[in-house]
Amino acid sequence: MDGFEIHDPRFAAFILPNAPLETLAEGFRWCEGPVWFGDRDELLFSDLPNDRVMRWSEHGGLSVFRTPANFENGHARDRKGRLLSCSHRGRCITRTELDGTITVLADRYEGRRLNSPNDLVCKSDGTIWFTDPPYGIQTDYEGGKQVSELPARVYRLDPGTGHLTVVADDFEGPNGLCFSPDESRLYIAESGLQFAAEPTRHLRVFVVGSGGALSGGRVFHTVEPGFSDGFRCDVDGNLWSSAGDGVHCIDPSGKLLGKILTPGTVANLAFGGRERSRLFLCVGQRLMAIYVNQRGARLL
Ligand code: MG
C-alpha cells in the first residue's frame, strides 16, 4: 500500500487507505513542537529557526501566534489548558497565562542556568516533566550559542513551588518524552550528541514510582532511519514516533507495527481533531496531517 509500511496486522487496522497525507502549510524553516487546542480547534507549532510560533486551524488557516518567541521548541498544555513552552534562547520553561502574559516557571537548577529545554509533558498531578539537552545553545540557528552550565538531564518541575528535581541524568541528549496513558511508564528519546557522526536512536522506558522517581531506563526500541525527536501515545499505549522516513508506530513491548511514510524527516507530531484521530506532523519545512483509525491518548 502506497505511503505505508505494515509490519504487523494491528497496524493495518490503524490506517485509512483512502485518507491522504495532506500538506496543510509550508514555507517554514523547520517545524517542531506541535500541540493541539481542541477547545479552539487549532494547532500551535514552532517554526524554530524563524523564531516564531504558528497557529493553524481548518477554518482560519495559518497565522503567526507569536514572534519573536525566544526560539521555542516543544509545547504542551497544563491541567488548566494553558500553553507550556520550552525556550531555547531563554533557557527556560514558560507558561502562557490565559490573559497572554508569559510566566517563567523554571530557568535554573541550583543556581545554574538550564541548557535549552527541548520538550515537555504535563502529568495528571500537574507536575511538568522536561528534557534539557544543550542542542539549542550550540548553534545560532536554534537560539544562539551560549555556554552550557549543566549536564544534559531530565527534570520534574512542581509549578506550585517552582521546585526542580532531577529524574534522569544518564543521557547525552534527552529529547522527546511521553507518559503511557496510565502514567505508569515514561518514555524518553535519547538522540545523543549534536554533531556526532551518527545520532543515537534510542527510545528508553522508565517505570514511574508513586513518589515520581524513575527506575529502569532500558532501551525499549531503536528508531531507524533517523532518530526519535518526539512522539505521542495512542489510547492503547502504542507510541507514534517521529523518524527519518515518517512516523513509526511501536507497541508497548517495543515492536514496530508499521510506518506512515513522509517526504522528509518528521521532527514531531501530535494527535488532534475532534476525536484526536488526526495526526499532525512537523515534516521539515511543512506542516502535514493524516487521519488515522486510532485515537491519541487523552492529555487533559
Ligand atoms: Mg525535540
20 alpha carbon – ligand 1 mean position (Å):
26
Per-residue pLDDT, 224: 95
Q: Is 299 part of any domain?
A: no
CATH number at residue 170: 2.120.10.30
Domain encompassing residue 121:
4-291
Total structural domains within the chain: 1
pTM over 0.95: yes
Q: Is 205 part of any domain?
A: yes
273 alpha carbon – ligand 1 mean position (Å):
22
Cell of 151: 549536564
DSSP state of 12: H
- C-alpha count within 13 angstroms, C-beta hemisphere, residue 163: 6
Tell me the per-residue pLDDT of 241-270, one tens digit each, with 9 for 90 and over: 999 999 999 999 999 999 999 999 999 999
Average pLDDT over residues 41-68: 98
Q: Is 26 part of any domain?
A: yes
Per-residue pLDDT, 48: 97
Average pLDDT over residues 156-175: 96
Average pLDDT over residues 126-150: 97
What residues are neighbours of ligand 1 (ion), with CB under 5 Å?
Answer: 118-119, 175, 229
Q: What percent of the chain has pLDDT over 70?
A: 99
176 alpha carbon – ligand 1 mean position (Å):
5
Q: Is 300 part of any domain?
A: no
193 alpha carbon – ligand 1 mean position (Å):
13
Q: Is 153 part of any domain?
A: yes
213 alpha carbon – ligand 1 mean position (Å):
23
* 215, 222 contact by CB (below 8 A): no
Helix (H) or strand (E) holding 11: helix 9-12
283 alpha carbon – ligand 1 mean position (Å):
13
- Measured in whole angstroms, the distance separating CA 258 from the mean position of its chain's CA atoms is 20
Q: Is 213 part of any domain?
A: yes
Per-residue pLDDT, 276: 97
Average pLDDT over residues 272-292: 97
Tell me the per-residue pLDDT of 147-158, one tens digit each, with 9 for 90 and over: 999 999 999 999
180 alpha carbon – ligand 1 mean position (Å):
18
Average pLDDT over residues 128-135: 98
**Which of 24, 56, 53 has its CA nearest to residue 40?**
56
Per-residue pLDDT, 300: 54
Per-residue pLDDT, 210: 86
243 alpha carbon – ligand 1 mean position (Å):
12
